[in-house]
Structure 1
Amino acid sequence: MAMISMTVNGKTHSAEAEGRTLLVEFLREKLHLTGTHVGCDTSQCGACTVHVNGQNVKACTMFAAEADGAEVTTIEGMANGDGSLNVMQQAFQDHHGLQCGFCTPGMVMSATKLLEENPKPSEQEIRDYLQGNICRCTGYHNIIKAILAASGQDMPAVAAE
């Protein structure tokens, strides 16, 4: 067991963990931040996406020890300071970018990072960026509309695929 410390959503946390403990397990089991979901354990679905030192990371593929000393943001840290939904979260709600909600935390984290990197992405750029995030319910149309809305763009008819 090793003591691991990281700043998560602006607060410093420390807890003991085995060397094999994945970041997603550390967040959920040690810090009780259960918004980060475990979907596949193989880095395929993106449900566990968090930001580590400002980068998208699938928390099922990173050991907690690798995040020792890091700045981590989870879906719980995405809300505005007053607790209201941020622009991306509100867009997902307003444009029905979720159904069962299982993929939503990872989608919101990835979509937020996309807009940091590309503030006005095209529909195709959104589709390309989200390739590492799987949604089994929505068909992605409303997710794309939500991201376009959060970017302040008009929402054309989203192509079916």
Structure 2
Amino acid sequence: MRVTLRINGERRQADDVWEGESLLYVLRERLGLPGSKNACEQGECGSCTVYLDEVPVCSCLVAAGQAEGRDVRTVEGLAEGDRLHPVQESFVESGAVQCGFCTPGLVVAAHDLLGRIPDPSDEEIREALAGNLCRCTGYEKILDAVRTAARR
């Protein structure tokens, strides 16, 4: 089957998509957007989080056919050309990027939070990031990154 969608503002299509293929697989393997990571394939870790019609979703749980005709924004789509989004910059500057596996999902979740609550409390930050697992940082630098991005 052919899947046509708008990714990061650009109309794209993937051919020969099989019925059970995930949006994550299509993004990474068919369309060359490796930002979203494939970790648990069960929606538990958050590494594959993208926006689907401006709602954050675990792309490993979305069948590619469900995205037909819809808008998808990946972590790559947050940047403006070569200029990182302030959330992305904050993660780099705060040292919240270690192995980088969880980073795309955390960045999308933080971006979504700050779009809804520009000056979140620590409790609101923790709640917003609760669906994302990180095994390297201990989360403190991630919280620092979100606080820094909020100040910008």
Cα offset for 1:31?
Answer: 0.3
TM-score (norm 1): 0.91
Count of matched residue pairs? 151
Which deviations, in whole Å up to 9, do the C-alpha atoms of 1:108-149 show, x marking residues without a partner? Answer: 011000111111111111111111000000011010111011
**Structure 1 segment 8-157 matched on structure 2, within 5 A:** 8-16=7-15, 17-81=17-81, 83-152=82-151
| Matching residue's letter, 1:53 | D
Partner-residue secondary structure (3-state), 1:132: coil
Identity across aligned pairs (percent)?
Answer: 40
Distance in 2 between residues matched to 1:107 and 1:137, nearest whole Å:
13
* Superposition RMSD in Å: 1.0
Cα offset for 1:78?
Answer: 1.3
The structure having more radius of gyration, on CA atoms, is: 1
Distance in 1 between residues matched to 2:123 and 2:137, nearest whole Å:
17
Instruction: Give structure 1 regions of 4+ aligned residues with deviation exceeding 4 angstroms.
Output: none
| Matching residue's letter, 2:51 | H
| Matching residue's letter, 2:79 | A
Greater helix fraction, Structure 1 or Structure 2: 2
Structure 2 unmatched runs, 5+: none
TM-score (norm 2): 0.96
Cα offset for 1:87?
Answer: 0.3
